[in-house]
Structure 1
Amino acid sequence: MGLTSRPLLYAAVLAALAAVALTCGLWPRFAGRGPGAVLGRLGSLLATQLALIAALALAVNANFQFYGSWHELLGLYDDAPGAVAKWGGATGVGPAGDPSQGLVQPSGPEGLDKVHGLPKGPPATVGKVETVRIVGKRTRLVDPAYVYLPPQYFQDAYARQRFPVVVALSGYPGGIYLLGQHLRLPQTAAALQRTGAVQPTVIVMLRPTVAPPRDTQCVDVPGGPQAETFFARDVPDALRSHYRVGHDPGGWGVLGYSSGGSCALQLAMRHPETYTAAAALSPDYKVTPDPTTGDLFGAGRDRVRRREEHDLIWRLRHLPPPRVSVLIGTSRHGEKNYPAAREFLAAVRPPMQADTVLLDQGSHNFATWRRELPAALRWMSKELTFPEDVVGAS
């Protein structure tokens, strides 16, 4: 049974209930003072606690999709970067997917069937959310995605138009399910587009964890996964090859929350030729290695330089600012990184532009990010160009 499957969760809940019932029924037998009675009490308590914890952990994981499979939970993808480097071996099939089969490939439900409130009806009336796998033609990395296509995408009047794109990134270790179910990104975007508050936009929801369970922080790791190249070059190329989306960076933005927000800022500031707008909800402003990331910057003389260039405040103080617009979502009370947000915003100078969604109270959670999301989408809509060009135009 899959890690997030309902049968496994139901089995765990039944096991927990059985453990509680057995403990209650057998407890009088363990009322003595001998070693057997003491061990019986300890054993029954331990079994009950483990069963309850397992059921609770499975329920939380099924709801938040921290780990999508047993392989991710057990860390069996640790060798993924090495396997990717061996692409093109005797088998002819790369472990991360085969770009010759298309850069955007069909996928299973990826949890989309559990997301509530998605558009239902004819696509030309309500839009559509589909699941795909994006394959990097350079990196050979693969990332599952939800793709929201607005109603106009299917309407004859827009048949020759290319649409702006927002690449949306979840936090770590959560997956794309969180963008749909808990951030409610496609539902919010659809509602805003129906009222005309947001222009028709293709929204591509991805997770930045491209080599699970490792948190690559959207960095090109020396000798490891090339996450930055994947999101800055492979993802746009793949989407342009499959969808009717813009070719000019003026039609491309990136949005994220938590570590996904950090990635959004990194990608826009380091690759303004790809993304001209970034909306970051509760981001960090520099990449700091920790046990979940491993060594992100490698060894040698370039290590310090690579680390400095992923410190966004350092970049603003020592390098020419990029011609991009950024939006920072934060809270005066409840967000630990509010002082860092103020420092970052104070360092911004033209041609870079910065705006904020500033709440008085708000913690590092989905309740806060859902409050910030409508303003972030309206801001992004004003930053991106539509219609950008016409299908068939050079």
Structure 2
Amino acid sequence: MGLTSNKALVLAIVLAVQLFVGTVWLWPRLARRGWRSVSGRVGLLLATQLALFASLGIAANQAFGFYASWADLFGRETDQGVVVDHTAGRGAGGPLEVLATARVQGANGSRPRTTGQIQKVDIVGRTTRIATPAYVYLPPEYFQPRYRTRTFPAAVVLTGYPGTAQALVNKLHYPRTAHELAKDGRMQPMILVMLRPTVAPPRDTECVDIPGGPQTETFFAKDLPDAVLAHYRVGRKPGSWGIIGDSTGGYCALKLAVHHPDAYAAGAGLSPYYKAPIDPTTGDLFHGDKELQNRADLWWYLKHQPAPDTSLLVSSSRIGESNYKNTLRFIERVQATHLTRISSIILDSGGHNFNTWRREIPATLQWISGRLSDR
């Protein structure tokens, strides 16, 4: 029974209700002063509270996609996502392998040429040997005969940490939103490549090329676009690619657009931060390399390095987001470069959560669509 399954949530709720009813029913019998009665009351209260918190925790995890499995929750996920050299057997199939397909939720019809298609894929980096699952959204036009020779712009979409790629599809509704916007003529048809930045779970690599560790930045800057280009009709020019992310993914999106404007013509950070943290989830990212640490600090980079020719979008809320003041400062820092372009979405209120990002995603997709070409 998976952590994200409805069965787990229903079981937790049923258990909590049963324990509550049992506590009410048995309480008169335990209303004595003996140690057995006291122990019984404490046990029932503790069990009821634990069942209630488990129900709330599972429900919150389903809503926000914090953890993908029980192993992920308890830090026992064994798939490290870094392949040493075990992919010879699949090399003939290329760096991207399609595992399954699904229709777009909310789209009318059943054929890809009218609804588009979501493909679940595995991606292996040619140079970094990083392997990770992802979801690819292909718009209806991709399957229509009149567009058979056309290439499409692409946007990489990243979750926060720890996050799940599936949440980008089922909770944040990127494919459905892109489908509706393109259908209404508010954005051009685009390919979306949706995955989490945690490509070496459970470690939070912050999209850094870690000395002696996962070369995460290189994977997103080179291996990922190469893998997608080898399999799909995507524009090959720098202006054909953009990147979007929320929270940790937002920091990664901004950093990749700033560091690699030749790869990403636009980067959008929803509720981002602007400097890689060092904490128990990241470990030692830089191994004493001050230059690498400075490079991961967007404040330092935009002040000391040549301004990149790229477009950036940042979002925050006046009430509810801790990054609000830093976001205003970041906008000023980018404006001072006189070359890098900056836009923003500032809500009156909204927390660091899926509901806030769902309110920002339509405008973000329209923004990035207007900055990408299909050639």
TM-score normalised by length of structure 1 = 0.88
User: What is the alpha-carbon distance in structure 1 between the residues aligned to residue 60 and residue 328 of structure 2?
Assistant: 34
> In the alignment, what sits opposite 1:39?
39
User: What is the alpha-carbon distance in structure 1 between the residues aligned to residue 49 and residue 258 of structure 2?
Assistant: 48
> In the alignment, what sits opposite 1:370?
358
> In the alignment, what sits opposite 2:309?
323
Equivalent position to 1:295, from 284, 289, 306: 284
Does residue 192 of structure 2 align to residue 206 of structure 1?
A: no
TM-fit CA distance, 1:59: 2.6
Instruction: Report if aligned partners of 2:134, 2:165 keep a CA contact under 8 Å in 1.
Output: yes
Q: What do you get for the CA RMSD once the two structures are aligned?
A: 2.3
User: What is the alpha-carbon distance in structure 2 between the residues aligned to residue 60 and residue 281 of structure 1?
Assistant: 20
> In the alignment, what sits opposite 2:61?
61
Does residue 335 of structure 2 align to residue 383 of structure 1?
A: no
User: What is the alpha-carbon distance in structure 2 between the residues aligned to residue 226 and residue 219 of structure 1?
Assistant: 7
Count of aligned residue pairs for this structure pair? 373
User: What is the alpha-carbon distance in structure 2 between the residues aligned to residue 68 and residue 118 of structure 1?
Assistant: 26
TM-fit CA distance, 1:177: 2.6
Percent identity over the alignment is 49
Does residue 322 of structure 2 align to residue 336 of structure 1?
A: yes
User: What is the alpha-carbon distance in structure 1 between the residues aligned to residue 108 and residue 163 of structure 2?
Assistant: 23
Listed one character per residue, the Cα deviations across residues 218-238 of structure 1 (whole Å, up to 9, x for unaligned) are 111222222111111111011
Listed one character per residue, the Cα deviations across residues 197-228 of structure 1 (whole Å, up to 9, x for unaligned) are 10111111111111222211111122222211
Equivalent position to 2:158, from 169, 175, 195: 169
Residues 275 and 44 (structure 1), Cα distance of their counterparts in 2 relative to 1, 3 Å cut: same
> In the alignment, what sits opposite 1:357?
345
AA matched with 1:270: H
Listed one character per residue, the Cα deviations across residues 15-53 of structure 1 (whole Å, up to 9, x for unaligned) are 223322322222222111011111111111112222222
Does residue 19 of structure 2 align to residue 14 of structure 1?
A: no
Equivalent position to 1:264, from 245, 253, 256: 253
> In the alignment, what sits opposite 1:253?
242
Residues 333 and 12 (structure 1), Cα distance of their counterparts in 2 relative to 1, 3 Å cut: closer
User: What is the alpha-carbon distance in structure 2 between the residues aligned to residue 322 and residue 127 of structure 1?
Assistant: 34
Instruction: Report if aligned partners of 2:97, 2:121 keep a CA contact under 8 Å in 1.
Output: yes
TM-fit CA distance, 1:167: 0.5
Q: Which moved further from structure 2: 257-266 or 70-79? A: 70-79
Q: Which runs of 5+ in 1 are unaligned?
A: 389-394
Listed one character per residue, the Cα deviations across residues 240-273 of structure 1 (whole Å, up to 9, x for unaligned) are 1111111111100001111111110011111112
TM-fit CA distance, 1:67: 1.3
> In the alignment, what sits opposite 1:309?
295
User: What is the alpha-carbon distance in structure 2 between the residues aligned to residue 99 and residue 11 of structure 1?
Assistant: 43
Residues 316 and 374 (structure 1), Cα distance of their counterparts in 2 relative to 1, 3 Å cut: same
User: What is the alpha-carbon distance in structure 2 between the residues aligned to residue 78 and residue 296 of structure 1?
Assistant: 21
User: What is the alpha-carbon distance in structure 2 between the residues aligned to residue 267 and residue 57 of structure 1?
Assistant: 33
User: What is the alpha-carbon distance in structure 1 between the residues aligned to residue 128 and residue 77 of structure 2?
Assistant: 16
Equivalent position to 1:233, from 219, 222, 230: 222
Equivalent position to 1:104, from 86, 96, 103: 96
AA matched with 1:350: H
AA matched with 2:333: A
> In the alignment, what sits opposite 1:136?
125
Tell me the secondary structure at the aligned position of residue 370 of structure 2. helix
Instruction: Report if aligned partners of 2:158, 2:246 keep a CA contact under 8 Å in 1.
Output: yes
Q: Which runs of 5+ in 2 are unaligned?
A: none
> In the alignment, what sits opposite 2:205?
216
TM-fit CA distance, 1:108: 5.6
User: What is the alpha-carbon distance in structure 1 between the residues aligned to residue 105 and residue 115 of structure 2?
Assistant: 15
> In the alignment, what sits opposite 2:147?
158
> In the alignment, what sits opposite 2:28?
28
User: What is the alpha-carbon distance in structure 2 between the residues aligned to residue 176 and residue 364 of structure 1?
Assistant: 18
